[in-house]
Structure 1
Amino acid sequence: MHKKIRLLISISILGLLALSGIQGYLINNTYKLEKTAFISETKKSISRLDDLSPKLDGINETLRDNFLNLIADYYVKKITKKQVLETMNAYSDSINRFYITSYEKELKEKEIGYDLKFQKIVNTIIVLDTTGIKNDTIFSSTKTPSFHLLGHKFSREEGHEVSNSLWLTDHDFNREVDGKMTSIIFNLQLETEDRMNIDGWEKIVLGRMASLLFISIGIFLLVFGLLFYSIKSLITQKKIADIKTDFVNNITHELKTPLSTLTLATKMLQNDEMIVVSPRSKGIVSTIERQNIRLQKLIDQVLNNSLGYQEIQLHKEIVPTQEYLKLIIDDFQLSLDSKKIKINKNIKIKEQISIDKFYFTTAISNVLENAVKYGKERVEINVSATFDGAFVLSISDNGIGIPKNEVPFLFDKFYRVGNKEVHNVKGLGLGLYYTNQIIKAHQGKIEVKSEENSGATFTITIPSNN
């Protein structure tokens, strides 16, 4: 039993851990989805801010014209690549503060509701000749960090991509080459990237998930609390059950000694002619003996019923079924004092059965005694046996019957039908429980069909290969 409890606790803990893992996985997935949705919403709200704002669009146009002039000077070899980048960087720095102020004003009008930083960076600058074959790379982010063009400065890791722009077009400029004004044409490939940085986006996403997180934590704590309470109750009930069993076993064993002494004293009184000479004395001694025997039987019943079917050690033997059953019924009839009890036998089977005679006899006797105890004024019991691949014994009576709602509990330990405080029939509620354990030990089953005031039918089935 202790192993089963430990196994149950281990399985429960593993189940809780598995549930926690699944819940954590689902929360993590939800967090990622919320993050993606939040970033997408923000991207959508600022994606065309540059184009729709006249101020920002004007700044971009001015920067673009300045940049194209630098490329034209580079194309005719007036400046170097380094000078292109340095000049461009200096110019962007000069207008950047105005750009940021204008951008933040546009954001404020949109009422986004949280702090946001924006930047425009350059990933690639490539000049191509008119043939489109010869490429001259001025800048590439694959070799060096991205070139900051406009907006706030923050690292790539701190931001999120909003959009990419690839500008591929041809340009016509007039430049003085070798003292002559010459029209030059070149193709330009410019790849820019818009990025944003949302201050405290993690808190915003978690805030959107607050209700889900609180519900998840609440459910987890509830399940954990229920599991803890259940395990604690199980351990407590097991301890109480062990204490009860030990107490019952100890008290019954302790009662055995004085009862044995009382039995010996009763026999001595019966054999002493000087004491039992009068009928009154004989009656008193007989009463003492009967009650002593009854008390011993009750104690034996308590001791025997502390065993489960797994603990019952059977010593099986092959018995002729018909003769065995008739002998049990005849012995039971002899033990009855009343002539108002009738037992009808319908046993016509020749097969043999493998059983433990002592335990199986006890089981059948318990069912018969139950029929007599709960019988009406005139008790009639019908006993029949058949063999069709399995041994089937049916014992029915015309007694007071059992309410349907109490039938499922009939084989529970200490259960008694009806009022638990007042019983017209004496007993401990162990007979049918013990009978069920014996039948289970024989790999069989016992079933009951009954209705109130319509008697009861007990059917015992034992497989032939048990």
Structure 2
Amino acid sequence: MTRNAIRLIIITGSLAIAAIIGIQIFWVKRAYDIENDRFRQSAVEALNEVANNISRIYDLTEIETPVERLEDDYYVVNLRTPLDAAVLEHYLRQEFKRHDVNTSFEYGIYDCDTDEIRYGGSVNANFEIDHIEPTILPKTDKFLNYFGVRFPSKGSFLFQNLDFWILSSIVTLLITGFFVYAMFVILRQKKLSEVQRDFVNNMTHEFQTPISTIRVATDVLAQDKIMEQPERMKRYVQIIKQENLRLKNQVETVLTTAKVGKGKLELNIQLQELHVLLSEVLESVKLEIGSGLTLKLDAEQTSIYADKVHLLSVVRNLVENAIKYSKKPADITVVTKNDDYGVVLEVKDKGIGIPEEYLGKIFNKFYRVPTGNVHNVKGFGLGLNYVEQIVKAHKWKINVESKYGVGSIFRINIPQEK
């Protein structure tokens, strides 16, 4: 699947999901508004019945519109006589239950002598008395005698009646989550596919070069007259040995990286002398680039606990990586020094550097920094990932500083036991 096709699928799917969510929000809001209107109508009808029942008790004429809504959850009811709280609570329970207003409410009665609303009581959704702290209900100047009713749990009561819409919203969110996850999987598989393709291409190229060299060398050695040229035969034998070692190192790199990825890497930690190991691993590098390699081994305390084989591989990878990305002639410096925590090992180069946007990716498996017009850089994209994994396995720290066009510094902090 092409990148444009994936992009089209993502855009189309995102628009479809956005439309579904928008429609869902619209219908949920509309359903909520309908329930709110129904609740308001039921509350007004119930309070009208309460007012009429009380008027009949006191032989008063009925008031045409005794109920007024002051706030979304607060109503006041006009009366023309003082009222007893017990009588009011009885009729409130009766009418709310009859009109299916099954939610908690608070009520209070206005006292004109004190010009305040006396707290009447609080009733829960089961129409039982709640023993809670009294709340101050708002007053109004529109009526002389009145009582007020507040529904503090109105919002939750309305949402209880929207169970279908809540369920459909949950299903929509699940579908949205599944779509997002599916897009994530598709993009990840696309990336893995590209990485795998690049790795196979790099591996094929890396293996073909020594294999071709070995084949040519063996063809030369198969000639009868080569026996008459011992120096030439010795040179071709050496070439075969070098290319065989190169193949061996490449295979070991792939296998070791696979072990690290599976968590099966076992380290043989022993006390090592860092400078001795550096001299051992950098001897062949000096033969290759000569004066291009500078050693500044300033550390005085150099005893560390490490796996010798993997530490040598880490240093070799960092130095070879510096050589790959350096302009000719190479200028590479290996530095050791002590700090408050232990030994610091640095590999510096004055190569092409790493652009800032790629610094966070260079330790990813199979990742290779785009090199523009530089096409002579070989490798699997495993070296720096291997270095990071070995450093982490030793519980060390590694960081990199780089400036494009100037060079890079790879720094490993190795703690020492006091």
Q: Percent identity?
A: 23
How far off is 1:45 after superposition? 6.8
Contact 1:312 1:438 (C-alpha < 8 Å) held by counterparts: no
Asked if residue 330 in structure 1 is aligned to residue 283 in structure 2, the reply is: yes
Worse-superposed segment, 381-390 or 354-363: 381-390
Which residue does the alignment assign to 2:410? Answer: 458
Unaligned 5+ segments in structure 2 are 1-28, 69-86, 110-153
Counterparts in 2 of 1:463 and 1:219: CA distance versus 1, 3 Å: farther
How far off is 1:333 after superposition? 1.7
- CA distance in 2 between partners of 1:376 and 1:293 (Å): 26
Aligned residue runs from structure 1 range 218-233, under 5 A: 220-229=170-179
- CA distance in 2 between partners of 1:348 and 1:156 (Å): 87
Q: TM-score, normalised by structure 2?
A: 0.54
Which residue does the alignment assign to 1:350? Answer: 301
How far off is 1:411 after superposition? 0.6
Asked if residue 369 in structure 1 is aligned to residue 371 in structure 2, the reply is: no
After superposition, the C-alpha distances for 1:306-352 in whole angstroms (9 at most, x for unaligned) are 23364321001101223222332224323x1x446232333342331
- CA distance in 1 between partners of 2:347 and 2:247 (Å): 27
How far off is 1:399 after superposition? 0.8
Q: TM-score, normalised by structure 1?
A: 0.50
Worse-superposed segment, 356-365 or 319-328: 319-328
How far off is 1:461 after superposition? 1.1
Letter in 1 for 2:354: I
- CA distance in 1 between partners of 2:412 and 2:107 (Å): 81
How far off is 1:412 after superposition? 0.7
Which residue does the alignment assign to 1:321? Answer: 274
2:355 paired residue among 403, 413, 428: 403
Asked if residue 412 in structure 1 is aligned to residue 414 in structure 2, the reply is: no
Contact 2:346 2:411 (C-alpha < 8 Å) held by counterparts: yes
How far off is 1:376 after superposition? 1.4
Aligned residue runs from structure 1 range 203-218, under 5 A: none
Which residue does the alignment assign to 1:444? Answer: 396
How far off is 1:355 after superposition? 0.3
Structure having the larger proportion of residues in strand: 1
- CA distance in 1 between partners of 2:334 and 2:267 (Å): 25
Unaligned 5+ segments in structure 1 are 1-26, 66-98, 111-140, 166-201
The residue matched to 1:306 in structure 2 has which SS? helix
The residue matched to 1:378 in structure 2 has which SS? coil
After the TM superposition, which parts of structure 1 deviate over 4 Å for at least 4 consecutive aligned residues? Answer: 33-37, 47-51, 153-165, 205-210, 216-219, 229-238, 262-293, 419-422
Which residue does the alignment assign to 1:183? Answer: none
- CA distance in 2 between partners of 1:264 and 1:307 (Å): 31
Which residue does the alignment assign to 1:42? Answer: 44
Size of the aligned set, in residue pairs, is: 314
Q: CA RMSD in A?
A: 6.0
Aligned residue runs from structure 1 range 385-404, under 5 A: 385-387=336-338, 388-404=340-356
Which residue does the alignment assign to 1:382? Answer: 333
How far off is 1:415 after superposition? 0.9
State the structure with more CA Rg.
Answer: 1
- CA distance in 2 between partners of 1:164 and 1:346 (Å): 87
- CA distance in 2 between partners of 1:227 and 1:374 (Å): 43
How far off is 1:463 after superposition? 2.2
Which residue does the alignment assign to 2:380? Answer: 428
